Amino acid sequence: MAQFEKVSQKSKVHPKPEGLTLQYGTAGFRTHATHLDHIMFRMGLLATLRSKKTKSTIGVMVTASHNPEEDNGVKLIDPMGEMVTVVWEGYATQLANAEQDSLLKELKDIIKKEDIDMSEPASVYIGKDTRPSSVSLSQAVLDGVSSLGGKTHDYGLVTTPQLHYMVCCCNTNGCYGSPTIEGYYQKLSQAFLQLTQNALNRTDDQKRLLVDGANGIGALKMREMEPFLRSELQVVLSNDGSSGKLNHMCGADYVKVQQKAPQGMNMGVGERCCSFDGDADRIVYYYTDSKGCFHLLDGDKIATLISTYLKELLTQAELNLQIAVVQTAYANGSSTRYLEDVMKVTVCCTKTGVKHLHHAAQEYDIGVYFEANGHGTVLFSKAAQKQIQELMKDPNTNDERKRAVKLLESTINLINQTVGDAISDMLVIEAVLAIRGMSAQDWDAIYTDLPNRQLKVTVSDRRVIDTTDAERRAVSPKGLQDTIDMLVKKYKSARSFVRPSGTEDVVRVYAEADTQESADSLAHEVSLAVYRLAGGIGDEPKPLH
Ligand code: 16G
Ligand code: ZN
């Protein structure tokens, strides 16, 4: 078949280094950029097949998010803007690891298994981040799609959530919005301006926000968006990519892990600051107090702020919709307790990784999901959106209810429901703080985080650790969970768990307790248990103090 002839020829331009095997992990393929050319070409092929199979547009994003600039990666986006399904993740790995001479065989195998009609047209949207390697790597994706006769639309430099948005807009025939960058800015800014109309007497100081763009794509896109916000938000952008290196000493991951401000940010006392990650799908907030103390407002604090605001609006609108917050084991114990005991919202815990949280959130009328690392969004079920729209049109709705319903409607429009989106989340947070007249300190005071510590342990094979109960308990190796349980009992308000990382060859350890010293000590003791019971390699973990 001529179709496969072209694939065969073109694949020689994107050869696979012999013996190299990679896996489609939690966030797609991710490794040093020099190992990815063949992967990109093959993901172009796979996206084309996925498009033919689903009769929809599929997205391919070239990025390695918060990883160092030298790395790169690729993720596939399914028709409604969600992550590609698990079965196709398997195909991605299968295709990626096929040696050069068996590529066509594996391709045909997928076509057969999925019963794909190759005469169907295919359409693939492609985007990339600002890494120098993204230029040629996204070209390799384009080559893959065109060699199977698929149509491409290259959006060039976009944030990951912007590409998710485009894919969803396209496959809903514009119902979700118009699939252009301009359409994205217009939809979000209109909703933001509508919301901030409800915030009275805001001073310029209150409109000011310091944004760390991680020297990445988020900074470029924030610059483009600024005029649309008509000074209702006065962004002071640092790490805008003009001089610094991507994610180096800056960005959401750096701030969250190091628990300190990024370089290059001039923070005044109490000033609201936030950091994006390298592809702008994560955000964390922070400020320093008058004593120079750094305060982090992470994904848990964001989920709490947004869910509290939404719950209040539901009450005012007299809408009986179930709201739930989805977290992972990393959520600070204080946040879970506050949400359950004070806010009385349903809290559900899933495994780490956006797709798990996203699926869990789909089960509720309103599902607010955030990982502590700042990735998250809010999902509104179709039925919930319909109820809100109907109430809006109902002539019997009184003014107070109408105001709440209008706020809900604008909030829905402001949220990127396809995936966590730093720009959209930032605008939601800014709007909520403005409407409620809250400062960063007021927000921080909602509850106090339990001191915590994250460590990693290198073992010879991290797969020996198997977990259950949303990664909160280890079922293997034998004796590990019993040891953790015993150690946790030694400390007050303590909790600890271990899990194999999905993105690095390490075991992650998390501990929290009533004081930082206890959290550090517990994390160390649990690390030692992992080292001893799960085949640790290298030096034994040392105490932190
Ligand atoms: C990936 C995930 C993120 C998760 C992280 C955990 C996506 C898009 N990203 O970056 O949600 O928090 O992995 O990494 O799913 P770990 O398994 O190495 O701890
Ligand atoms: Zn990211």
The CATH number linked to 123 is: 3.40.120.10
Ligand 1 neighbours (beta carbon < 6 A): 26-27, 352-354, 371, 373, 375, 501-504, 508
Q: Would you say residue 428 lies in a domain?
A: no
Q: Residue 507 belongs to a domain with what CATH number?
A: 3.30.310.50
Instruction: Provide the domain limits for residue 97.
Output: 2-157
* CA proximity to 372, closest of 340, 332, 423: 332
The C-alpha torsion from 130 through 131 and 135 to 141, rounded to 10°, is -100
- Decide: 379 and 310 in contact? Cβ < 8 Å: no
- Does residue 3 carry a pLDDT above 80? no
Do 10 and 153 share a domain, yes or no?
Answer: yes
Question: 162-183, pLDDT tens digit by residue?
Answer: 999 999 999 999 999 999 999 9
* Average confidence score pLDDT of the chain: 96
Percent of the chain with pLDDT over 70: 100
Do 246 and 316 share a domain, yes or no?
Answer: no
Closest ligand, as measured to the CA of 281: 2
Do 108 and 124 share a domain, yes or no?
Answer: yes
Do 277 and 310 share a domain, yes or no?
Answer: no
Q: Once rounded to an integer, what is the mean pLDDT over residues 336-341?
A: 97
The pLDDT value given to residue 27: 84
Do 87 and 225 share a domain, yes or no?
Answer: no
Known binding-site residues for substrate equal 371-373, 499-503, 508
Q: Would you say residue 543 lies in a domain?
A: no
Q: Residue 371 belongs to a domain with what CATH number?
A: 3.40.120
Q: What is the pTM of this model?
A: 0.96
Give the C-alpha distances (Å, rounded to integers) separating 271 from 244, 256, 443, 453. 23, 18, 13, 26
Known binding-site residues equal 65, 277, 279, 281, 371-373, 499-503, 508
Question: 369-382, pLDDT tens digit by residue?
Answer: 999 999 999 999 99
Catalytic residues: 65
- Does residue 1 carry a pLDDT above 70? no
Place of tokens 């709007």: 431
- Decide: 256 and 374 in contact? Cβ < 8 Å: yes
Do 393 and 324 share a domain, yes or no?
Answer: yes
What number of other Cβ atoms are within 10 A of residue 97's Cβ?
19
Domain total of the chain: 4
Q: Once rounded to an integer, what is the mean pLDDT over residues 466-490?
A: 97
Closest ligand, as measured to the CA of 27: 1
